[in-house]
């Protein structure tokens, strides 16, 4: 089960979501946007380590309205 599926089917909401930026099925910002449609109160902390062959995601300034 993916983190998104857990949020979608679970009754509880975590205090904080720790997410990588580069993930196989969707990037962290896309996950944040979709998750906040389900649970707008979610807070996210993004981390990542650049690896050879990974795509780069350009993120807006953290905390900026509309970041995700």
Gyration radius of the chain's alpha carbons: 12
Give every CB contact of residue 67 below 8 A, 6+ residues apart in sequence: 29, 32, 59, 60, 61
CB-based contact 28:56 (threshold 8 Å):
no
Report the percent of the chain where pLDDT is more than 90. Answer: 26
Three-state secondary-structure class, residue 19: strand
Alpha-carbon distance 15 to 24, whole Å? 24
pLDDT for the residue 64: 55
pLDDT band at 10 (very low <50, low <70, confident <90, very high): confident
Q: What is the pTM of this model?
A: 0.70
Phi, psi for 29 (deg, rounded to 5): -70, -40
């Amino acid at each position: 089960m993916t983190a998104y599926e857990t949020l979608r089917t679970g009754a509880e909401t975590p205090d904080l979501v720790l997410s990588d930026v580069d993930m196989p099925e969707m990037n962290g910002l896309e996950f944040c946007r979709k998750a906040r449609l389900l649970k707008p109160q979610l807070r996210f902390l993004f981390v990542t380590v650049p690896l050879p062959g990974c795509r780069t995601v350009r993120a807006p300034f953290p905390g900026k309205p509309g970041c995700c």
